[in-house]
Amino acid sequence: MALSACASQRSSVVVGDAVCASPVPPRRLPLPLATPVQRETLLRAGFSPEAVHIADVIGAAGSLLASRTTNEGANGQPVFNSFANNHVALSLDRGILEVQGTEASLSCQASRIAELQAELLQQQAVISNRYHFARLAVTAGAAIAGGTAGLLSSSTIANVTTISGGGLEGLLTILQLDINPSGHLRLQQNMLEEFWRAPEIPALFPQRVWRYLNTSVNPGEPTPRENIIESWRRDQLIPDAPFTPEPPPLILKRDAIKSDELESIRLLIEPVQVRVGLMARSMGRLVEELLEQSEATALNRQAPPGRRRPAAWAQALP
């Protein structure tokens, strides 16, 4: 009876959610890329490499450069390109929305993993408890049948074998009972798989976030995606082997997942989620540098006409 009670607790747990990650609608036009000349001009204009990089990531490097181009208005005051300014602002807004959406999708998948993990741990505790009582029942019966208080001695096992009629196999079935249940993760989209395969046009990652994960501030440096995969190897979450297009089994596994495997999958998701969040910090850096330049321009306007000096960004423009 105890054994059957244990077995009845081993039914698989299924956790899934169809809304964790939805396919991202593709852009009708690709995001514009900054030319080397545009990058160099923005750097000379006083923008940091991080700000120039994030402007390129969100497809606003050209507009950022155009927004710094001025025409002389009334009383010799500079007039900025308002259309370019608006495009930079909208690109930043869109980038922030993409970061938030990606973080929400990754958090959703992590929550489903945690939910399944909690279910399996609870189930394991119940099975372990019933297994403990089942073992006590067998060993107590063996002691009585053997006429001795010795638990699981060779003579006890022989007596249990004789009494049970099922041979030693009946006892070993209980002693070797698997008390680590497994579950099924039913996620409609696997963001980790796409992160590993790195398609040119992603289906689950927005295009600006995807460009951020697959480009670096300085040419020749590892990209955030490459750094994350290397951290997985370093933390022994995936095999320390040369990169292959096919993801590691852990990333693809969805059926018969055990609690420790779920923890490893959660640890795979965590650095991706953190790195996506850092994209917002880079956009904040760009906004701060734009504000600094605007403040410098405003102060320059207040100076007497004979003492005005061109701002650094104006001197750098061709």
- Residues 28-59 have pLDDT tens digits of 888 999 999 999 999 999 999 999 999 999 99
**How confident is the model at residue 111, as a pLDDT?**
87
What is the residue range of 134's domain? 2-316
The percent of residues above 70 in pLDDT, for the chain, comes to 66
Query: Mean per-residue pLDDT for 132-159?
Result: 52
Alpha helices by DSSP H, 204-258: 207-213, 224-234, 249-252
CB atoms within 10 A of CB 260: 10
Which ranges in 75-223 belong to alpha helices (H)? 82-146, 154-164, 168-175, 191-197, 207-213
- Average pLDDT across the chain, whole number: 78
| Average pLDDT estimate for 73-94 | 77
State residue 209's pLDDT score.
97
Q: 257: which strand partners?
A: 183
Residue 142's pLDDT is: 53
**What's the chain's length in residues?**
318
Of the pLDDT bands very low, low, confident and very high (cuts 50, 70, 90), residue 258 is confident
- Give me the pLDDT at residue 2, please: 46
Closest of 177, 176, 180, 190 to residue 256, by C-alpha: 180
In contact, 124 and 138? CB cutoff 8 Å: no
d(CA 226, CA 190): 19
Distance CA 96, CA 58 (A): 10
**Lowest mean pLDDT: which of 106-120, 169-183, 192-206, 282-296?**
169-183
Provide the pLDDT confidence category of residue 284 given band limits of 50, 70 and 90. very high
Mean pLDDT for 91-109 is 93
pLDDT tens-digit series, residues 181-218: 777 777 778 899 999 999 999 999 999 999 999 999 99
Tokens of 189: 């989209």
More confident of the two residues 115 and 130: 115
The pLDDT tens digits for 211-239 are 999 999 998 999 999 999 999 999 999 99
Q: In whole angstroms, what is the distance from residue 281 CA to residue 270 CA?
A: 17
Total structural domains in the chain?
1
User: What residues does 302 pair with on adjacent strands?
Assistant: none
